[in-house]
Amino acid sequence: MGVPLIMVVTKFNEELPKATAKRLPQYYRIFKQLVADKVDRTNSQEIAKKLGVDSATVRRDFSLFGELGRRGYGYDTVALRNFFSNLLGDSAETNIALVGVGNLGRALIHYRFHDRNKMRITQAYDVAGNPLVGTKTEDGVPVYNISDIKKNLADTNIETAIISVQSDRAQEVADILIDAGIKGILNFTPRRLEVSDDITVQSVDLTSELQTLLFFMQDKKASNQ
């Protein structure tokens, strides 16, 4: 991945709560925006409001990293932006491979991860039957035959991959990716992947996201009756 291994600051250790870890990209985005808007400092209430959580959550999250702010002053936006940038490894370029160049795969290739972050899909893969294999997408990303992935990745520092194939191929693709040296997978299928402990999987299940929305809508209606 080419990211410096920072075993971060004062209190940060392997027991960082998963919920906190998931908020890190959002904190980073908020501080980047504040710096872009030329706001010099902020406080936990304002951050909490932007994030849609309560301010105690923000203070508790930040306290895990040590002293990020000063009492009575709040948080320096440039310092905090840089802090979260380092924490998320966003100071280094991260190249990513994508497997499954269907509708979703093409949308993800086109999605502007790189506009505000140093992450970029640089290679795409599909099976020989996909007519895009051997061509480049409209965004200039080459589409290779999945059978070439191990050979191709050996020449790169790519350790991160996106799976956007049909569910029933997801595990097979994950096994191929791991065999080719991939350490982290962003999984867009509803299939839960079986991987060894040294592999990280982050899943985005679109059906679950939609069901969660419907559940909260229903719950809100019932509470208001």
Least separation in angstroms between CB 156 and a second copy: 16
Q: Which is nearer to a second copy, 36 or 213 (CB)?
A: 213
100 labelled ligand-binding: yes
102 labelled ligand-binding: yes
Q: Which is nearer to a second copy, 14 or 37 (CB)?
A: 14
Q: Which is nearer to a second copy, 73 or 207 (CB)?
A: 207
Locate all alpha helices (DSSP H) within 37-158, ordered by sequence: 44-51, 55-63, 77-87, 103-110, 113-116, 149-154
78 labelled ligand-binding: no
Rounding to the nearest 10 degrees, give the CA dihedral for residues 117, 118, 123, 125: -40
Q: What is the spatial distance between Cα 178 and Cα 159, in angstroms, rounded to a whole number?
A: 9
95 labelled ligand-binding: no
Least separation in angstroms between CB 28 and a second copy: 7
Q: Which amino acid is at 56?
A: A
Least separation in angstroms between CB 144 and a second copy: 20
Provide the pairing of β-strand 41-42 with 75-76: antiparallel
Q: What is the spatial distance between Cα 9 and Cα 49, in angstroms, rounded to a whole number?
A: 26
Least separation in angstroms between CB 206 and a second copy: 6
Q: Which is nearer to a second copy, 63 or 166 (CB)?
A: 166
Locate all alpha helices (DSSP H) within the chain, ordered by sequence: 18-36, 44-51, 55-63, 77-87, 103-110, 113-116, 149-154, 170-179, 206-223
51 labelled ligand-binding: no
Residue ranges for the binding site for NAD(+)?
100-105
Binding residues: 100-105
